[in-house]
Amino acid sequence: MDLPKPEVLPAGHCYPSLGMQALEAGIASLSVPPSISRDLAMVNEPRGKGGPSAHLEGSKDSLRGSPPGLDPERRERLWEKMKRRMESGDKWFSLEFFPPRMAQGAVNLIALFDQMGAGGPLFIDVTWRPTEDPGSDKETSSMTIASAAVNYCGLETMLHMTCCHQSREAITGHLHKARRLGLKNILALRGDPTGEQWEEEEGGLSYAADLVKHIRSEFGDYFDICVAGYPKGHPDAESFEADLEHLKEKVSAGADFIITQLFFEADTFFLFVKACSEMGITCPILPGIFPIQSYHSLRHLMRLSKLEVPQNIKDVIEPIKDNDDAICNYGIEQAVSLCQKLLASGLVPGLHFYTLNRWKATTEVLKRLGMWTEEPRRPLPWALSAHPKRREEDVRPIFWASRPKSYIYRTRDWDEFPNGRWGNSSSPAFGELKDYYLFYLKSKAPREELLKMWGEQLTGEESVFDVFVHYLSGEPNHHGHPVTCLPWNDEPLAAETSLMKKELLRVNQRGILTINSQPRVNGKPSSDPVVGWGPSGGYVFQKAYLEFFTSRKTVEALLQVLKKYELRVNYHIVDVKGENITNAPELQPNAVTWGIFPGREIIQPTVVDPVSFMFWKDEAFALWVEQWGKLYDEKSPSRLIIQHIHDNYFLVNLVDNEFPLENCLWQVLEDTLELLNRPTSE
């Protein structure tokens, strides 16, 4: 397919002095935000929405590399992962969470997913809260929380779903939506009656076995299905034996595995497994573990589950019921002891933890069991999504390195994703990013905390410089508060930033405000704890990269300095209005991270792409106002300072292509700062 050639406007389209400087120096070939515009970038989309290569059918540039296979688990179903772990004898754990009631709770829960996801759970599950519109798009709904876990936290996720008080049509609609959102695991439950007595739903599904049959009938084997088991029998069952018959019916209907209700004694589980085996139930059975965390939470959970606490546990916790720390410590010890007995039995393939949306007790239990892995090696240099349609994705622009959830959100409607290489990027259909209120894109820190970090009152641009410096240094600001995030990075600094900390501090102190960077790497082992990624036995490479905001005056000096580095350094300079100065080849991405692994093709997971940069710059500039400026009153001096930076600064990215040599970008900036300090008469 022939794509229209972008119109190249005269340099200096918006600011003649900058554009003409670059053109006269012979170092800028394009100045074209309108020519690489949103209108042009969205044309010629023969296959709906998709990534760069998806729009070049029939051209040589559309050929994709074969799947690199860096992480086979990305392509496995949950039951396949379980089977592989069971065959290897590798025990696993999983975690249960429930949707919060308040919007800020959703922000906190996503942060908890990231925190506990670092320990290596095989999957998480999210409960279904029928009274809170669980299938809606509300940010606190079960469906939305589970979708966020899959798409934005990269976690294998199972959604609870109940069938009581719902029509077949409503249930089918929920399942279609779950599939569309990337969810592929369902915990099928009957649910609790609204009154004291259970009543069958006319025209609906009355029992969990009916729900399992319905899922299999409507969706085949798309979903992996889990069902609940009750080690002492369901409280509403006629007998323990009758409950086992119901469980067998659920498994026979198509369930893949069982998670049990919580219990406190190992023998309870052993007897249950033996009874299941005698009944002919052979699928995996995961024990449900509840580390006691407080007297109140224990009583609440017992009331909901209609279970009794063993007398020996009551004897311990009753005297300390007003001391939550003591009860939590006891709960950890009790859970560790229980889990050790279960694991030693050989009957347990994995452990499922009821977390109550708290991290401390469950994390401590797992660490004591040696199951909290926190593997430092990354499959790819950026955070993965677990959505099935992204399972082959292995290339992204570097600009969203610190905002992966935003990148995933903006590309959520793509039909396919770059694999093997980015390709010609004449038409990346990035979505607009206006939904800054979405809980998975907001800062985890509340407004009051952000003001303490970024300044309750700014006195000038230097106040902003100080915020960046304190974020990099890790030292408290002038008011004694540590700066742990910026609008462009809601997380602590990446480990590789420490390799450049001295240089970064120096340039930020002078008004070169860095928001993204990576050091040069020339053949480090893929197992390197700081810059490594991918399978063992490989080697990784990086070109030095810097991205920063800076003033017009600094950009003018930088353009003069870049004359000396014309062949070595690629650059892209743009302002909020779209003035765009670059020496990068037109529409040509530049691979800045790649890896070589035994028996595999070269993988290039990170690129600097000129078209994507023009979409990123909209977001990057908007964050000044949306995340920082709006902390202040509209006409306040602080708000005006942030607005001035937004309106007048430039966003710059620099790539040093000579990765075998020492990084020259620091010298480029030193020369720029020196030029700024020269007397004007020179």
Question: Position of tokens 């007398």?
Answer: 311
pLDDT above 70: residue 569: yes
Q: How confident is the model at residue 439 (pLDDT cuts 50, 70, 90)?
A: low
Output the pLDDT for position 425.
Answer: 61
pLDDT tens per residue across span 388-434: 999 889 999 999 999 998 999 888 888 888 877 776 666 566 777 67
Output the pLDDT for position 300.
Answer: 80
pLDDT tens per residue across span 261-277: 999 999 999 999 999 99
Say how far apart CA 145 and CA 97 lie, in whole Å: 10
Smallest Cα–Cα separation from 1: which of 417, 426, 585? 426
Question: Residue 161, exposed/middle/buried by CB under 10 A (0-12, 13-18, 19+)?
Answer: buried
Virtual torsion, Cα 296, 301, 306, 310, nearest 10 deg: -70
Question: 398 and 518 in contact (C-beta within 8 Å)?
Answer: yes
- CB crowding 484-495: b at 16 or more within 10 Å, else e: bbbbbbbeebbe
Point out the residues that are catalytic. 96
Question: 375 and 120 in contact (C-beta within 8 Å)?
Answer: yes
Packed helices 501-509 and 665-677: angle between N→C axes, nearest 10 degrees = 20
Say how far apart CA 74 and CA 383 lie, in whole Å: 13
Say how far apart CA 556 and CA 260 lie, in whole Å: 66
pLDDT tens per residue across span 291-341: 999 888 888 877 777 788 889 998 998 999 899 899 999 999 999 999 999
Helical spans, DSSP H, in 411-561: 447-454, 461-473, 501-509, 552-561
What is the average pLDDT across 562-573? 94
In order of 80, 318, 497, 575, the CA distances from 669 in angstroms are: 52, 66, 17, 19
What is the average pLDDT across 558-583? 94
pLDDT above 70: residue 360: yes
pLDDT above 90: residue 197: no
Residue 282 vs residue 164, higher pLDDT: 282
pLDDT tens per residue across span 19-66: 545 544 454 444 333 332 333 222 223 223 456 644 333 332 332 333
What is the average pLDDT across 425-452? 76
Say how far apart CA 541 and CA 591 lie, in whole Å: 10
- Backbone Cα Rg of the chain: 28
Sign of torsion over alpha carbons 339, 365, 536, 399: positive
pLDDT tens per residue across span 108-118: 999 999 999 99
pLDDT above 90: residue 544: yes
